[in-house]
Amino acid sequence: MSGTPTARRVRRIKPSPSTAAAQRVRELKAQGHEILDLTVGEPDFDTPEHVKLAAIEAIRRGDTKYTPVNGTPELRAAISAKLAQRHGTHYPDEQITVGGGAKQVIFLALMATVDSGDEVVIPAPYWVSYPDMVLANDGTPSIVECAESNGFKLTARQLADAITERTRWVVLNAPGNPTGAAYDTAELRSLADVLLAHPHVRVLTDEIYDEIWYGAGQAPTLVGVEPRLRDRVLVTNGVSKTYAMTGWRIGYGAGAADLVAAINKLQSQISSCPSSVSQAAAVAALGGKQDFVGEMVATYRSRRDEVLHALGGIPGISCTTPRGGFYLFVNCTGLLGKRTPQGGVIGTDEDFSRYLLETQQVAVIHGAAYGSPGYFRISFATSSAVLAEAAARIGRACAELS
């Protein structure tokens, strides 16, 4: 036998498609290609200055040691205040966990609760990591296809039909990646009614894009709509998207004390604690001035509208307007079956994404990576100039199909 054998849990998952797409873009750029990269799932803004200064000051005063497993008291207090404002309920220390990004918190929550054969309901389109996280922890992803005609959202009927005696979790990501879809109060109410009838099911609400929101007021939340579900919901969030802090790797979760204790136990054996310096920065982000957030969201809204307008006149593609986040999930089913100038056939969304990259040097991520073939995802977390040129090239690529 050559090489090192890997465990089944590794063999049954695949690398993140979004990470793979970003790596391919880096490789092409290193080879001298000028790529218009629309794959990036992170803000193109810099971390706010007062946040960076807080990290520098933490280093200068020697706050560079281990912290409690579940984060510093100052950060947990800042998270609790944010959640009280967001959800209208208080989470004490023992119900808050802090990790190396929201991704880690979600993974540890599944590791703490999912056994072989347990099911996790995941609405599609979904963030690429959810199914593989479930598989890595011996669970079974139960994928529910959510139609574009319903805004890519899970309905109460679909939820009721998907729940079995083996269901342990339902995942709700809103505003969502890749679609920007979000639920209104009435829709959350109908989902909550189903969940109340199934007390063995927990809900993981991934709210990482909650502040990148284009509606009035705040995006509604499940806990805010139905407080009786509070101890069955793990609210996950972080500072990555809202404060342009993706590399700082700070995420958090809030939920039932027994679940949080299990997550903390696992983290104590995996990474001990999150970065002390990053936690100091996160305190400044959550508790400091919020002007940056509003300015960033206004820029995203403008870009969203510009790209929607630019893509709107291209035959063969269409797009539902996202209510949050910084992505467009573009329907390209009207292009499937067409031929390229080189004689190839666009049989799938992945074929079209490859065709865009090879002929127009525009990088997008195909919809099948998100559980929804027939689409591709564009990130508008880049400059208006890049977006305008990319839209023109997409139009050119579509026009050359026959």
Question: Are the C-beta atoms of residues 83 and 235 closer than 8 Å to each other?
Answer: yes
Q: How confident is the model at residue 5 (pLDDT cuts 50, 70, 90)?
A: confident
H helical segments located in 13-115: 17-30, 49-60, 73-87, 102-113
Asked whether residue 322 falls in the same domain as residue 268, the answer is: no
Asked whether residue 161 falls in the same domain as residue 273, the answer is: yes
pLDDT of residue 2: 56
Asked whether residue 215 falls in the same domain as residue 82, the answer is: yes
Asked whether residue 328 falls in the same domain as residue 189, the answer is: no
- For position 196, which CATH number holds? 3.40.640.10
Give tens-digit pLDDT for 256-277: 999 999 999 999 999 999 999 9
pLDDT at 1 over 70: no
Residue ending a domain, among 287, 310, 343, is 287
Asked whether residue 90 falls in the same domain as residue 127, the answer is: yes
Q: Tell me whether residue 133 is in a domain.
A: yes
Asked whether residue 308 falls in the same domain as residue 334, the answer is: yes
* Pairwise CA distance, residues 155 & 159, whole Å: 6
Number of domains in the chain: 2
Asked whether residue 167 falls in the same domain as residue 213, the answer is: yes
- For position 383, which CATH number holds? 3.90.1150.10
Asked whether residue 86 falls in the same domain as residue 178, the answer is: yes
Q: Is the pTM of this model over 0.85?
A: yes
Residues in the chain: 402
Asked whether residue 215 falls in the same domain as residue 274, the answer is: yes
Q: Tell me whether residue 1 is in a domain.
A: no
Strands 365-366 and 318-319: unpaired
Residue ending a domain, among 258, 287, 316, is 287
Q: Tell me whether residue 6 is in a domain.
A: no
Asked whether residue 25 falls in the same domain as residue 101, the answer is: no
Q: Tell me whether residue 5 is in a domain.
A: no
3-state class of 56 per DSSP?
A: helix
Residue ending a domain, among 264, 287, 310, is 287
Q: CB 86: neighbour CB atoms within 10 A? A: 19
Give tens-digit pLDDT for 342-360: 999 999 999 999 999 999 9
Question: Are the C-beta atoms of residues 378 and 370 closer than 8 Å to each other?
Answer: no
* Pairwise CA distance, residues 368 & 117, whole Å: 25
Q: Which domain holds residue 305?
A: 11-40+292-399
Q: Tell me whether residue 313 is in a domain.
A: yes
Give tens-digit pLDDT for 187-235: 999 999 999 999 999 999 999 999 999 999 999 999 999 999 999 999 9
Asked whether residue 263 falls in the same domain as residue 125, the answer is: yes
